[in-house]
Structure 1
Amino acid sequence: MALNMARVWCRCSSYCIKKNNFPNVGVNFLHLSRSVAGYERDPAPLFFSPDVQRIMRKMTKVDVKKVFRSRKLGEKLDAPEYKFLTSEELEQYMKETEKKVEERLQVPPIVKEREEINEVLSVDRALTGYDSAKFVFTDITFGVPNKDRIIVVREPDGTLRKAFWNERFRMNQIYFPEPDRQLRTPHMFEEPYLTNVLDRGEYEFVLDRACVQYEPNDPEYYRVTSTTYDHIEKEQMFDALQSTRHFGALAFYLCWNKQIDNFVLYYIQNDRLPGKDNAAFTWKGQQCALSMPNYQARRRMVEHMGQLNHVKSCHVKPCQISQNFPIIF
């Protein structure tokens, strides 16, 4: 699985590699500058591709107890039920449970960040100074999707324009409120509160709350999620999102932004690799380690490989990818 994610990483980096092969040691990955957190290019075609979806599902370890655990939602818990089932009924019940697990582990969509709306419909100077406030006109027809709802604003200077995204958000939430979504940004998404919550390890809580509060293409959604993913990568708390719907999104984000070093190391240290591919991955992992921009991650990765039982030794000779960056273990 980590081998597959390394392929996706190279694909995101616009590097073509052969199937089941890591880049050679001679490839200079130092010229791959880490992109700014976010998605400047549209990630949707890659994210929704069948191969990437399959890899993300396979990477998300299914722990039924964690998926269906009791959560602090302020709701009264239902009393447990005990039933006697036949073998056929039990099999049917297990299939239904698998469907529920798949629904709960569905990865939130990752799409391109939206651009601000700047479209002027008309300018009527005769209305200049009529009022000091803006007039917002909203189509409240029932059944129209919020993203397609017509909302326009008349400025005090007589300009009639389409509403900005923040204005559309407020109007839609006033007339057609989404459950648990607030008109004002929750303080937990602002500093220093966001950092305090992340320092406590409440990653899943922050990401779940962001999915409720924001649309997938909202710039604020990108800010909150990228800050959370960066904090997880820095603290190497990948287990916190295992068996949650956000683990696949975390993996995709790290691959897209070329921050996969510690993530690959996490898979190796926790023996999360397919059994038959362990030996092959260990050797290829040495080559991958030599290409890692993060020196500490390279060193830990190679040292750990030398401790694996199925590998006699893992001696890596000093080499140099570029004249300005010697690699010495």
Structure 2
Amino acid sequence: MAALRKNMQCFRKLSKVCSNCCDTGLARYFQTSRVVLFDEDPLTYFNDKKVNYILRKITGDDTKKAIYKHKIEKAVTPKYLVLTDKELQKTMTKAEGIKKRRLQMPPFMKCREDRDKLLEDDPDIASILESKYVFFDITDDNSRYKRYGERPMVIRHRNGKLKMADWHTYDRVSQIYNPFPGREIYMPKMFKEDHLEELLDTYQNYLYILERACVQFEPDSSDFIRVTHRIYEHIAEHGCFDVLRSTRFFGPMAFYFAMINKIEPLMADMIDRNLLSDAVDLINLKKILHKESEMHTQGREILMIIQDFYNNEANKKHIHVLEEALGRLEKRLEERLQEEQSN
């Protein structure tokens, strides 16, 4: 009886999801937009060893920021332990493992293709169909499906057409029968465009929104791509790049700006923080992604490499940001030289 009640609850949820998600106002209800930036799948470049090395290198290694905790209402009493050298070394190794897991970057993927394939058209049964029907494999055997989206799901529409389930319906029905911890059946309002802009302008809590997006969406979801890309752009507009430094989102953000040929604001931030080698790595990342010849630093001064990029390759739309950063760098170097001469 308990199992029957559980199945009936799932069925009621499914009926509500289908009635809301399968109507013609779906796109308007969810306020989402199709996001396609690249002809090729960027995941191929993202998984490249050289690209991955650059992304991890420029991310930074601040342990306090990497193993951050969100603010909570109830204060947690800290624990103090007296450890031997061996126990301390073991604890430090464990902390390094935690930091490595926390810095695991979410994949940068191309938006998944629409699932609107017509499987069968049977208008003869349309007169007896009073609603749409969703057919979904709800078996517990997950070993048969290695990737999300491989479980078959089809919809019989009221006009008799049998189609593959669209992604919005697929995500919601999957969450009912194969729930992912922390994920909601309906997209939270915070990710709708109007609410997202208000959150970004008012609180600028980028890390929380990014972490929440990783839980709510699949990495190739149009909503995940829309939300993350908008956050990266908002960070660039306000110069808040350091908020993501030493977190798992800094690499994907740098990858995004390199892919769209807009690395100048991030380069300017690196120059202002005297991270000149990171700026050169960012230049090389951009060259790898756009299949250009890399810059070799051996035997060349880092400043010369940055200056060459500024003179010959910088994006004209954003070159003023880089020009201002180089001016501030030159001023700092002059002040340092004057201090050394006075001493």
| TM-score, length-scaled by structure 1 | 0.77
- Measure how far apart 1:312 and its partner are: 10
- Measure how far apart 1:47 and its partner are: 0.3
**Given the alignment, which residue of 202, 207, 212 partners 1:204?**
207
Report the equivalent of 1:236: 239
The 4+ residue runs of structure 1 with deviation greater than 6 A are 275-279, 310-313
Give the structure with the larger helix fraction. 2
Report the equivalent of 1:115: 113
**Given the alignment, which residue of 310, 323, 329 partners 1:299?**
323
Contact 1:182-1:213 at 8 Å conserved across structures:
yes
- Measure how far apart 1:311 and its partner are: 10
Report the equivalent of 2:267: 264
Q: Across the two proteins, how many residue pairs are aligned to each other?
A: 277
Report the equivalent of 1:215: 218
Percent of aligned positions with the same letter in both sequences? 32
Contact 2:66-2:246 at 8 Å conserved across structures:
yes
Contact 1:37-1:257 at 8 Å conserved across structures:
no
Contact 1:138-1:151 at 8 Å conserved across structures:
yes
- Find the aligned partners of 2:59 and 2:241 in 1 and give their Cα distance: 11
**SS at structure 1 position matched to 2:163:** strand
- Find the aligned partners of 2:44 and 2:138 in 1 and give their Cα distance: 33
Contact 2:277-2:302 at 8 Å conserved across structures:
no
What amino acid does structure 2 have at the position aligned with 1:280? E
Pair 1:156 & 2:158 matched: yes
**SS at structure 2 position matched to 1:309:** helix
Can you give the 5+ residue segments of structure 2 that lack an aligned partner in the other structure? Answer: 1-34, 279-296, 338-343
- Find the aligned partners of 2:172 and 2:57 in 1 and give their Cα distance: 39
Cα RMSD of the aligned pairs, angstroms, is 2.6
Q: What pairs up with 1:1-329 in 2 under 5 angstroms? A: 38-72=37-71, 79-144=77-142, 145=145, 146-199=148-201, 200-274=203-277, 280-290=301-311, 291-292=313-314, 293=316, 294-309=318-333
Can you give the 5+ residue segments of structure 1 that lack an aligned partner in the other structure? Answer: 1-35, 314-329
What amino acid does structure 1 have at the position aligned with 2:122? D
- Measure how far apart 1:244 and its partner are: 1.3
- Measure how far apart 1:185 and its partner are: 1.6
What do residues 5-62 of structure 1 show as CA deviations (whole Å, max 9, x unaligned)? xxxxxxxxxxxxxxxxxxxxxxxxxxxxxxx973342101110011111111111122
- Measure how far apart 1:245 and its partner are: 1.0
Contact 1:111-1:216 at 8 Å conserved across structures:
yes
**SS at structure 1 position matched to 2:193:** coil
Contact 2:134-2:156 at 8 Å conserved across structures:
yes
